[in-house]
Each structure stands twice: as structure tokens, then as C-alpha cells.
Structure 1
Amino acid sequence: MTRFKIILITFLSLLAFAANSLITRFALEQTTIDEASFIMLRVVSGALFLWLFVTLKKHKSPWQSGNWLAAAALFIYAVSFTYGYGLIAAGTGALLLFGSVQVTMTIVGYREGERLNRVQLIGFVLALAGLVILMLPGISAPSLTGALLMCISGVAWGIYTLQGRGASNPAASTAGNFIKAAPMAMLLWFIVNLSTNNTINLASDGIICALLSGIVTSAIGYIIWYSVLPELKATQAAIIQLSVPLLVTLAGAILLNEVITLRVVLASFTILFGTILVLTYKKSKLGLAKK
């Protein structure tokens, strides 16, 4: 793969990830679609598209790929992500999501025997502090419920990502996880439909947003990201994703008229700088590696 193609595909992947937050926030704020319908349409449409893709590519059968723990984590991520964005600004939500993902993966790494040096530990504390800054009470504080939901979505996405480590066929594995998560999303939609006395509103503009989220920014976004991932070092891939919350924050201000507060700026700097320290300052870089 040429350098230009790597840069182009990476850029398109980041746009897809950022657009997912913006589309979800727009759909829940500007259309009449409800959260359960959005989740169901997003997951089911993504599953159908991915099944068709891996079938045409003659990959390993998606029915035999993925696993139920990853599918459950994907479902929990989709639910908390969607309900959270019904209560919180796009940029703030992306920061909470991203920060929670990094904290989750760092904690899991520690449990698996990975140890942080002093600089990395400072970075981890900074990332945690950034999350706390966003959630502290105050005039500009986001909805506490929305913030907690976005943190849950980050933890779930971290678990989903860790479950996918070492997948021999990422496209088939992603398709399998979406297919397994689809019945969960349909069951949620059915339960909410019953509990609200059939008041779920499948608005046409909301449907378009959900399908865009499921097919374009989720299914296609994951496919192109996984296609370029082998060309990137793990640290490069992680640091590149740091740009997603910034893209969402700026786009949210421009497209959704969201306000960029001092709290968001301070939290952004703390979370992103802390994460860079954790990702880049390996023991060997500090001369602390064992001989």
C-alpha cells in the first residue's frame, strides 16, 4: 500500500468515526426518531451490510466469526452511546468516550502484567483528571446521566476492541459481532415499543441518519480502518485516533452550533496530553528497559 493511500484511508476512517458522533447527536436533537429505533436500525443495517460484504468477498462465514462477549460489548456500547448523545453535546461526548476507552485499555493492560513507568503513570492520572473535569458539577457541566452513559460506552468499546485483538479476519469478525448484536438491538426495540404503548416514531429523516450511521460510518468505517491498520504501528494508530474528539468538537461547534467552553478545552488538553504520555513513553524510551 502506497504512503498516499495509507494517509487517504486513515483520513477517511477518522472522518467516519467523527461523523458517527455528529450523525447520532444530530438525529436525536434535530429529528423525531427515538433512541431505541436508532440503535436497532444502526446495528441491523450494519450487520446486513457487513454480512453482504464478507459473503461477496468470500471470507470466512460471519456466522462462525466473532464471539458473544464482543457482541454484548458492542450492543452495550451502541445503547449507552446513543442514549448518552441524547443528553450531551457531540464534542463532550466524544471526549468522554475516548478517555474512557483509553483508561479501560490501560487498566486491562495492567491486569495482564503491563506496568506503567512514572511518565506513563502521570499521563494516566491526567487522562482520569480530564474525565473528572468534564463531569464536575457547575454551570457548564454536561448532564451527569449523559456523561455516565458516554463513559459506559467507552468502557464497552474498550472491551470490544480488546476482544478483537489478533483476529485473523477483522472484517469477518466485525460482521459476526454485528450479526450477534442485531437480535439484542431488535429485542430492545421491541421491549421499548411495548413499554411506550407503540409510540416509537420511525421518522424518515431519522431513519436516514440511522442507516448512515450503521452502513457508512460504522460498517464501511470499520472496514477501511481495519484495511489500513496493519500498515500502522500500534502506537501510531492509537495516537492518530486522538484527533477524533477534536474533529467532533470543532464540527459540533460549526455544524450543530455547540458551544466550546473553557471546561471542554481544559479537559481536552488533559485527556489528550495524558494519553500521549501513556502511549509514547515506553520503558525503553526512558532507558528503563531491562537488559
Structure 2
Amino acid sequence: MRLTGREGEMNPVVGLTVAAMIAFAANSLLARLALGAGSIDAASYTALRIVSGALFLFFFLCRQPGQVKMPAIPGNWIAAGALFAYAIAFSLAYLMLGAATGALILFSSVQATMVGFSLIRGERMSLFELAGFTVAFLAFVYLILPGIGTPDPLGSLLMVISGISWGIYTLRGRGSANPLKETAGNFLRASAFCVPLAIYALVAGNATLRGAGLAIVSGVVASGLGYSLWYRALGGLSTFQAALVQLSVPVIAALGAILFLNEGITLRFVIASLFVLGGIAFAIVAKRKRRG
């Protein structure tokens, strides 16, 4: 991932990646606001999130000339299944885990899935790339360490499933020819898995207007549009880079909590954020120099 393009212009992949990471962090904050406050149950939240994202993307594509004239639904069932598994496991896990513990398990699972896939494919990190990755990951652990408690076994298992599923969904997006269309197709396919959740939500769900609104915002903006940007960004990222940059999400989420949820800023946050972002930048620059 080069930081600049021709004539010193910023590489669009950088902007797309930053926007996608902000969307991922927004998803964490929205889930925390909705599920943490008991404004909605996990099944209703997940169903509303996926279905609203699917409907928005479908109608958005309808307004694009020639976009909906296709012989079959784009995307694929593997990606759709991974998307659904990530979303429902994520929602259920956060009913049993604290935010910090959940983040540690989630992103550790994502890193293990994507870096493991990269190694299986024969990709290798240089010493400098490994150093940058190690610094970023240890700083990430340092950031969330104060909130880590004894994890609930079932909640931990669910979050591991969520992390692995997200890693698979990301890997399936590499080389996407039409990121927006494929994301829409994946959301439409994932909506089929939401039928049992919708039935449960109608019969025994516990959704307030506020909780439903947060789920829809998550589905339309942070998920639908955010994942489209991510699929587009993946075309300019290696598997290792795609795994690494996601360590910035807890930093962005923590910053969002400071700005919008009135949480206090701490020296730990400042130090950890600098090392996470510095480690990411160091590893990416090292990889670029190695290729050069």
C-alpha cells in the first residue's frame, strides 16, 4: 500500500482504508450503545443490521444505470455465511463479555486467521515487518488491558467464531471486481439466514425504538457502506496489510468514545495509540521498501 500516488497525490487506497476503519469502529460504538444499554436483543439487532444494509445497498444500486441488470445475485454464499456468522456471534458475545475483553479476543482471532492464511500461501514477513506488527499488537493489548477480566467461556467462543468469520469475509473480498455490487449481494444472501432471527424478534424480541434505530444506522452506514469501502480497499492491500490495519479499530473506537460518549482521555490511551499506529506505519513502510 503506497501512501502517495502520481505527482504526490494521496493513494485512494489509504483514504478508503481509513474510512473503512472508522466504519468498523462506529459499528463497535453503535453495538455498545444498543446492546450494552439493553435497548435491543442480539437477534433483533443482528437481523435489523443485515436486512437494513441489504435493502439500502439494493435500492442504491437500483439508482445506478445498468447496475441491477444482472443474471444472478452477485457475491457468494461463503462470504454471506461468514458475514452472518460474524454479525450474530459478535452480538451474542458482547452480551457476555466486556468491551475490552471482547475486542482482544475478536482482533486476536482476526489476526490469527488472516496472518495464518498469508503464511499458508507462502507469504513471509521480514524482520522489520514482524517488529512493526509485534509493536502494534502489544500496544493494542496494553490499550485494552485495564478492562480485561476473566472471560466468559461461551462468550469467548462466540467472539472467536466472530473473529474467524470476519477474517474469512475479508479474505473472500480480495480481488473483488465490483465491491459495491458484491457487498450488496453478500448482504442480500445473508438476509436469508436472518429469517429465524426475525421470527424470534417478532415473537420474543426486546427492541426499543432507540435500539432499532441504532441497528439500522449500523446496517446502512457502518456496515453496508463501510464494508463496500473495505472490499474496494482490499484491492490495494496485501493479506498481511489488511490484517494489520484492523488493529487501529480499537484505537479509533476509543477515540470515538472520548469524543461522543464523554469518556475521559488517559495517558495510557495516548501512549498505546501512538505505538499501535506507529507499529502499523512502520510495518507497511518496511514492506513497501522491501518491494522497492
* Both structures adopt the same fold (TM-score exceeding 0.5): yes
Which residue identity lines up with residue 79 of structure 1 in the other structure? I
User: Could you tell which deviates more after superposition, 206-215 or 143-152?
Assistant: 143-152
The answer to whether the aligner puts 1:143 opposite 2:158 as a matched pair is no
Identity among equivalent pairs (%):
43
- Aligned pair partner of 1:55 in 62, 69, 88: 62
Tell me how far apart the structure 1 counterparts of residues 41 and 207 of structure 2 sit (CA, whole Å).
Answer: 7
Q: TM-score, normalised by structure 2?
A: 0.75
Indicate the residue corresponding to 2:169 in structure 1.
160
C-alpha spacing 1:155/1:18, structure 2 compared with 1 (3 Å): same
User: Could you tell which deviates more after superposition, 144-153 or 13-22?
Assistant: 144-153
Indicate the residue corresponding to 1:176 in structure 2.
185
| Pairs aligned (count) | 281
User: Could you tell which deviates more after superposition, 19-28 or 5-14?
Assistant: 5-14
Which residue identity lines up with residue 186 of structure 1 in the other structure? V
Tell me how far apart the structure 2 counterparts of residues 177 and 63 of structure 1 sit (CA, whole Å).
Answer: 12
Residue pair 1:42, 1:213 contacting (<8 A) in 2 also: yes
Residue pair 2:111, 2:243 contacting (<8 A) in 1 also: no
Indicate the residue corresponding to 2:77 in structure 1.
68
Q: TM-score, normalised by structure 1?
A: 0.75
Where in structure 1 are there 5+ consecutive unaligned residues?
Answer: none
Residue pair 1:31, 1:205 contacting (<8 A) in 2 also: no
Deviation for aligned residue 1:217: 1.1
Residue pair 1:91, 1:250 contacting (<8 A) in 2 also: no
Provide Cα deviations, 1:221-267, integer angstroms capped at 9, x if missing partner: 2334556666x655877665443210112333554466889999998
Deviation for aligned residue 1:28: 0.6
Where in structure 2 are there 5+ consecutive unaligned residues?
Answer: none
The answer to whether the aligner puts 1:84 opposite 2:124 as a matched pair is no
Tell me how far apart the structure 2 counterparts of residues 9 and 283 of structure 1 sit (CA, whole Å).
Answer: 18
- Aligned pair partner of 1:110 in 114, 119, 123: 119
- Aligned pair partner of 1:208 in 209, 213, 222: 213
C-alpha spacing 1:119/1:128, structure 2 compared with 1 (3 Å): same
Which residue identity lines up with residue 106 of structure 2 in the other structure? L
The answer to whether the aligner puts 1:247 opposite 2:249 as a matched pair is no
* Matched ranges for 1:190-201 at <5 A: 190=199, 192=200, 198-201=203-206
What's the Cα RMSD here?
4.1
Deviation for aligned residue 1:172: 0.9
